[in-house]
């Protein structure tokens, strides 16, 4: 009798789980055990001390950047079982201040669907994830992409909605239909979804819902004229200082005359928007958000009127040297976005300074290298009437990188050697110093007030060594930075 009751109870639990589309918590427990075991085997040489990366395995796009019950939640495209892309999970970190991060248990496991990119909103104290279900199938495209929901009341354990999908792919549309970024305005929820027209031009589609479940298509917010790429990924859309910003990651943008083709870039269009007509009127042409080698798929969140952005700190189609070490991929520092005239400024969040440890002020000499164990922050002051050249490499060799200011062309560049250069012109609007963040395999250069920012992966061995190769002395204030994500 007792066992029959138990059996009934068990089947009831199984029934409820199936009804709620609950992913198996025991499968996640098993994955977490695997992660703990594998984590011990990671080679630490390039492992990051204050940037988010996967505990083990591969990550790409940041997802679900949100504020829930007073904490910042950030998710990422995650494949724990290898250091290359695979069936997508959602990994998860949480932070009180956008600087110190803790890993939480894996949020989404792939089931019939790979859990592609998306966003998070809070409704009735529930953290709601809206993400793309990528399902491989037998039809002529080979896959389908639709939008799914998942819920959590504790910010850690998620239940997939039984009525998924909530947005099917548009009829007669391309199957490329992904990366919903959702927000609330007035009585409605809105979401923007990256897509591709049937004649292979990137576009962003806008939808509206009264309740997150029933969605109606409103309009497209923009579309490539053919030169702006065949697919627009990871759209985001928000108001900033009275303007509207459409952030997007287009694939296949035509390079400027004489420029180099890059398959993936991230940038933004500033314009005006009207919630009655749903018309987005661009006022400033597409501009890149970050000029470094490794920045993609950026996503934002907002709190107390401040808009924060984070990007994937890698790039498609290039080597990820850490992938022989048991991990691959990272997220950038969180930056605050500000509108300044026709452009966005990016600054590290205010609390980033809390990682600073003892500082030194030095004047960099030719034969004197400033050395950092693994991490460092430098404020570099030079005279912009003359050129500036900093050479960075490892205490034990490894990759070299040169940061340059050309006082004649007014161009700043980040040069990883062998022609692997990123550059852009810079007109300081205030401060003329450079703020440089070094982690074990990352470099972020913020020029002035954040008019120009470069994020590049660099792989020095044995920490960093910095030399002045300029014609002028450079004043440097340097800090060691403490760890803000567990080993
Ligand atoms: C939140 O509550 C409202 C009102 O009860 C309901 O309509 C809505 O569906 C709820 N949202 C979620 C995500 O369950
Ligand atoms: C938005 O468009 C409507 C309809 O054309 C118009 O009445 C309204 O003034 C516009 N709002 C703004 C802020 O421009
Ligand atoms: C470095 O220089 C700055 C600015 O001049 C000053 O505020 C700071 O106290 C100095 N730090 C050290 C360690 O000398
Ligand atoms: C910085 O390096 C350059 C080139 O090596 C040198 O000419 C210059 O004097 C250096 N500055 C100082 C202060 O040593």
- 364 — pLDDT class (breaks 50, 70, 90): confident
Q: Would you state the structure tokens that stand for residue 307, as one six-digit string? A: 């808009």
In this predicted model, which residue has the larger pLDDT, 358 or 434? Answer: 434
- Spatial neighbors of 317 by CB under 8 A, at least 6 apart, are 263, 264
Measure the CA–CA gap between 239 and 443, rounded to whole angstroms. 29
- 258 — pLDDT class (breaks 50, 70, 90): confident
pLDDT for 275:
98
Taking 90 as the threshold, does the pLDDT of residue 19 lie above it?
Answer: no
Q: How much is the mean pLDDT over the chain?
A: 94
Ligand 3 neighbours (beta carbon < 6 A): 359-361, 477
From the CA of 151, the nearest ligand is 1
User: Do the beta carbons of residue 403 and residue 414 sit within 8 Å?
Assistant: yes
Name the 3-class secondary structure at 16.
Answer: helix
Q: What does the DSSP assignment read for 238-270? A: EEETTEEEEEEEEEEEPPPTTPPP-SB--EEEE
CB under 8 A, 24+ apart: contacts of 299-306: 299/61, 299/62, 299/63, 299/65, 299/119, 299/181, 299/234, 299/236, 299/247, 300/65, 300/236, 300/238, 300/247, 300/337, 301/65, 301/66, 301/67, 301/72, 302/238, 303/67, 303/72, 306/336
User: Do the beta carbons of residue 85 and residue 78 sit within 8 Å?
Assistant: no
Question: What element of type H or E holds 297?
Answer: strand 296-303
In this predicted model, which residue has the larger pLDDT, 173 or 179? Answer: 179
Instruction: Tell which one of 186, 242, 274, 279 to mutate to probe ligand 2, the residue whose CB is within 8 A of the most ligand atoms.
Output: 274
* Closest residue to atom 7 of ligand 2, CA basis: 276
- Tens of pLDDT, residue by residue over 284-316, are 999 999 999 999 999 999 999 999 999 999 999
- Just list the catalytic residues: 61
From the CA of 281, the nearest ligand is 2
Taking 50 as the threshold, does the pLDDT of residue 252 lie above it?
Answer: yes
Ligand 3 atom nearest 477 alpha carbon: 1
Q: What are phi and psi of 37, to 5 degrees?
A: -65, -45
**Start-end of H helices in 88-221:** none
Mean pLDDT of the region 53-78: 98
Q: Would you state the structure tokens that stand for residue 348, as one six-digit string? A: 């590290």
Q: What is the pTM of this model?
A: 0.93
Dihedral of CA 117/186/217/242: which sign? negative
Q: Determine the distance separating the centroid of ligand 2 and the alpha carbon of 474, expressed in angstroms.
A: 53
Dihedral of CA 274/278/283/286: which sign? positive
Measure the CA–CA gap between 315 and 264, rounded to whole angstroms. 8
Q: Would you state the structure tokens that stand for residue 161, as one six-digit string? A: 């909605």
Prior bond of 165 cis (ω within 30°):
yes
pLDDT for 255:
93
CA atoms lying within 13 Å on the CB side of residue 413: 18
């Amino acid at each position: 009798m007792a066992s029959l009751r138990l059996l009934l109870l068990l089947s009831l639990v199984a029934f409820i789980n199936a009804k709620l589309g609950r992913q198996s918590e025991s499968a996640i427990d098993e994955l977490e055990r695997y992660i703990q075991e594998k984590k011990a085997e990671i080679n630490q040489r390039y492992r990051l001390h204050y940037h988010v990366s996967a505990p083990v395995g591969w990550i790409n796009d940041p997802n679900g950047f949100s504020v829930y019950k007073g904490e910042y939640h950030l998710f990422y495209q995650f494949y724990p079982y290898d250091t290359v892309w695979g069936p997508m999970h959602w990994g998860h970190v949480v932070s009180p201040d956008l600087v110190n991060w803790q890993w939480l248990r894996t949020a989404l496991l792939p089931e019939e669907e790979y859990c592609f990119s998306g966003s998070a909103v809070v409704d009735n104290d529930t953290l709601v994830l809206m993400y793309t279900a990528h399902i491989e199938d037998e039809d002529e495209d080979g896959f389908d992409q639709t939008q799914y929901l998942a819920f959590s009341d504790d910010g850690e354990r998620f239940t997939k909605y039984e009525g998924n999908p909530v947005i099917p792919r548009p009829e007669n549309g391309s199957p490329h239909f992904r990366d919903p970024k959702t927000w609330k305005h007035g009585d409605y929820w809105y979401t923007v979804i990256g897509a591709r027209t049937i004649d292979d031009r990137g576009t962003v589609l806008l939808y509206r819902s009264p309740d997150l479940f029933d969605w109606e298509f409103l309009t497209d917010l923009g579309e490539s004229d053919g030169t702006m790429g065949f697919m627009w990924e990871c759209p985001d859309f928000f108001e900033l200082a009275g303007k509207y910003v459409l952030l997007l990651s287009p694939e296949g943008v035509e390079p400027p005359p004489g420029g180099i083709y890059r398959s993936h870039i991230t940038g933004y269009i500033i314009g005006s928007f009207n919630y009655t007509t749903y018309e987005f009127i661009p006022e400033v042409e597409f501009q890149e958000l970050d000029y470094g080698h490794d920045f993609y798929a950026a996503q934002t969140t907002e709190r107390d009127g401040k808009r924060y952005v984070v990007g994937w700190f890698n790039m498609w189609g290039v080597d990820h040297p850490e992938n022989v070490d048991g991990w691959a991929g990272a997220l950038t520092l969180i930056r605050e976005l500000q509108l300044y005239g026709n452009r966005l400024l990016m600054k590290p969040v205010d609390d980033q300074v809390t990682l600073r440890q003892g500082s030194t002020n030095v004047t960099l000499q030719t034969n004197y290298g400033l050395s950092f164990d693994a991490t460092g922050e430098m404020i570099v002051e030079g005279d912009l009437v003359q050129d500036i050249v900093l050479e960075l490499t490892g205490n034990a060799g490894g990759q070299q990188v040169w940061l340059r200011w050309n006082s004649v062309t007014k161009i700043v560049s980040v040069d990883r050697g062998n022609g692997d250069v990123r550059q852009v012109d810079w007109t300081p609007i205030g401060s003329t110093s450079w703020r440089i963040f070094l982690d074990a395999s990352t470099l972020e250069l913020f020029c002035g007030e954040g008019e120009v920012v470069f994020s590049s992966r660099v792989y020095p061995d044995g920490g960093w060594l910095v030399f002045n190769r300029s014609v002028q002395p450079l004043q440097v204030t340097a800090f060691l930075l403490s760890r803000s994500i567990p080993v």
